[in-house]
């Protein structure tokens, strides 16, 4: 079992213990400092919502990943300076 699968099992149990529906929750996987292959492994397990807080990581990884996996939803976590916004929007949209 992968680390993500272990986490998902624990997460699902916690959600059920709280008497919540797991389908009501959008789980956002934070990809900070993870390689393309590590992220793709999680995508292959049906995780499509991701968060990133480093613009340079978005530029390096996410253009490729979004082209390969059109179901991905990417969120920027944190603050972004105006001069970096254009680069970010080109990749995310």
pLDDT in tens, 45-62: 999 999 998 888 888 898
Helix, strand, or coil here: 29? strand
pTM of the model: 0.79
Give the pLDDT score at 93.
Answer: 67
Residues of the chain under the 70 pLDDT cut: 83, 92-93
Question: Which of 93, 87, 59 has its CA nearest to residue 74?
Answer: 93
- The answer to whether 30 and 55 have CB atoms below 8 angstroms apart is no
Task: Give me the helices (H) in 1-93, please.
Answer: 3-17, 36-43, 55-57, 63-68, 82-92
């Amino acid at each position: 079992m992968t680390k993500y699968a272990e986490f998902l099992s624990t997460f699902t149990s916690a959600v059920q213990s709280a008497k919540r529906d797991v389908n009501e929750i959008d789980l956002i996987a934070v990809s900070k400092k993870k390689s393309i292959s590590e992220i793709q492994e999680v995508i292959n397990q049906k995780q499509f919502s991701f968060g990133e807080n480093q613009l340079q990581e978005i530029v390096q990884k996410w253009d490729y990943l979004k082209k390969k996996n059109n179901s991905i939803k990417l969120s920027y976590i944190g603050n972004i300076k105006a001069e970096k916004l254009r680069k970010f929007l080109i990749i995310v949209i």
